[in-house]
A and B are shown apart, each in its own frame.
Chain A
Amino acid sequence: MRRSRFTWFNGVALALGLAFLYVPLALVVLYSFNGSRLVTVWGGFSTRWYGALLANEPLKEAAWTSLKIAVASSALATLLGTLAAYALVRHGRFRSRTLFTGMLYAPMVMPEVITGLSLLLLFVALGLERGFWTVTVAHTTLTLAFVAVVVQARLVDLDRTLEEAAADLGAQPVAAFLTVTLPLIAPAVGAGFLLAFTLSFDDLVLASFTSGPGSTTLPMLIYSSVRLGVTPEINAASSLMMGFVAMLLLAAAVMSRRRGRGAAVRSGRG
């Protein structure tokens, strides 16, 4: 099978597309090291804005809040999303499948203002005080679908005979899941966790609706100052956020490589 040739037109499309995606972000990072207070005039290399960030107490507090919410909600979303993916792949057609997939996939595309408003009204109706846990619940609801899709794609491709072999050798279903299935889908579960983590860490809209006093997240804080205009300090904060996410991605890539190879060796021997 010969693939269609990669033409100069393809090359130009790719180069322009990647430039379009990366140049704006590169400018933010570059100008976070700008010594000048003027945002678009280069005034020499400086790290003064990063220093200013370190002295900014509300910002550090918001970053800590965001981090805690992201850890809690992505852990919950990974658990629920993996269960949902397993149910959809291993249990074929059940009666409420249409309703279930509808509820699962809708939050992925549903405009966030609607999800945010409806969750807030639920919390008010239940008389819950808004804060850390209400934002965590909102983020879990949004992100568990993303985990489910990532894990589902992996489960569909998984060789079922491995689970059946475990069952034939006397493993109970739960034991077979924990010792055979889970290690094999671990890279996808890890990727799902990471995706959920960054979605939560970056979210502005759901958090604005569902957070209360004392639980301002980092994007909420950045948003309130972005509205007033572009400042070098926000450039520095944005660059740190991007660097943090890039580090997580790199760690995930290294981890899934090692795990993937290990799993391949194990199933190759088996």
Chain B
Amino acid sequence: MSEARAAAVGRPLVLFPPFLWLALFFLAPFAIVLKISLSEPATAQPPYRPQLPWSLDPERWRAFVEGLGLENYRTLLADDLYWGAGLASLGLAAVSTLLLLAVGYPIALAMARASAAWRPILVALIIVPFWTSLLIRVYAWMAILSPEGFLNRALLALGIVGEPLQILNTNAAVLLGLVYSYLPFMILPLYASLERQDPTLAEAASDLGASPLVTFWTVTFPLSRPGIVAGALLCFIPIVGEFIVPDLLGGSETLMLGRTLWSEFFSNRDWPLASAVAVVMTVLLVGPIVAYRNAEARRLEPRG
């Protein structure tokens, strides 16, 4: 091991640049978000106060600290609108993650059971839509679901409905859009764990007389748990803060946290309140994010 280590490029040389970059552009900004979430909005440039005193004068620092307060968090807690957005985000993220699992699992299972020649092709077919802009993928559904869209045209032509259904701008459209946008994120971890499963285990179960369904529920499904956990986290966490899907497919009643943050920032120009929403969202997601980091680190751990 020590000999092998001698063959590697020195740690400071390879670790320092990415470490510094992430500390400066990912970690440090959170401290600033936290600070601004304790500030109050102001009609100034930048639109909040107090400003950091760039001096060593203790008086100015005391004034700065006294200027901070929990006012924005009180606003968030007192207003039903924000509670509604928070609950709707978590609810829609949970429901869409379950739907993703239900839709993604049969597809991942089929990929894992395909012949060795087909598997890489199927993986590529699942990944390709992911390389297309999320904006375009959501836009495609606007054209399908709108009152004069493809779906309503087909339903009208077949005489199933008398007048166009209002699907666009509802929560149903948001769920559909979320499932569509995040499907590769669910399928790929599921496939990775199903593909690695030892087929002799399922074989043993069926040799001992288990029906295919029983074999699936008692052997295949429980063994794929790491894939289920990774896929669920990879979908749930970003969906809680998703902006594009609820903004383009949702109606005015679809208030999710990502959309709330966006409108507080861009429409109301209330930077401190937007920061407080970001802090609340981060706190809600810390547990899942740590779980995801652990799952990812375990998966990519060097062997031995």
Contact = CB atoms under 8 A, between A and B. Distances in A.
B241 A100 contact: no
A5 B199 CA distance: 10
A137 B25 contact: yes
Contact of B144 (A27, A104, A105): A27
Interface stretch (A44-52, A55-63, A84-92, A258-266): A84-92
Contact of B293 (A106, A115, A121, A230): A106
Nearest to B129: A21
B14 A238 contact: no
A90 B113 contact: no
A153 B300 contact: yes
B243 A28 contact: no
Determine the main DSSP class of B at the interface with A. helix
A160 interface: yes
A174 B9 contact: yes
A27 B149 CA distance: 11
B109 A40 contact: no
Interface string B144-165: 1010111001000000000000
B134 A160 contact: no
B135 A111 contact: no
A103 B293 CA distance: 9
Interface residues of A, number: 103
B133 A25 contact: no
B250 to A, nearest CB: 13
B55 interface: no
A18 B141 CA distance: 16
Interface residues of B, number: 105
B237 A111 contact: yes
A211 to B, nearest CB: 13
B217 interface: no
Tell me the dominant secondary structure on chain A's binding face: helix
A92 to B, nearest CB: 7
B173 to A, nearest CB: 13
Contacts of A125: 32, 52
A202 B21 contact: no
B65 interface: no
B178 interface: no
Contacts of A119: 25, 29
A167 B6 contact: yes
A111 B241 contact: yes
A255 interface: no
A163 B8 contact: yes
A242 B130 CA distance: 11
A1 interface: yes
A132 to B, nearest CB: 16
B15 A117 contact: no
A117 B114 contact: no
Q: Which 8 A-B pairs have the closest CB atoms?
A: A111-B241, A118-B29, A202-B133, A10-B110, A13-B106, A24-B140, A167-B7, A17-B107
Interface of B: 3-11, 13-15, 17-19, 21-23, 25-30, 32-33, 36, 46, 52, 103, 106-107, 109-111, 113-115, 122, 124-126, 128-129, 131-137, 139-144, 146, 148-150, 153, 180, 183, 187, 198-200, 202-203, 233-234, 237-238, 240-244, 247-248, 257-258, 261-262, 265-266, 271, 274-275, 278, 281-282, 285, 288-290, 292-293, 296-297, 300-303
Interface of A: 1-7, 9-11, 13-14, 17-18, 20-22, 24-25, 27-28, 31, 39-40, 79-81, 83-84, 86-92, 94, 96, 100-107, 109-115, 117-119, 121-122, 124-125, 137-138, 140-141, 144, 148-149, 152-153, 156, 160, 163-164, 166-167, 173-174, 176-177, 195, 198, 201-202, 204-205, 208-209, 219, 222-223, 226-227, 229-230, 234-235, 238, 241-242, 245-246, 249, 253
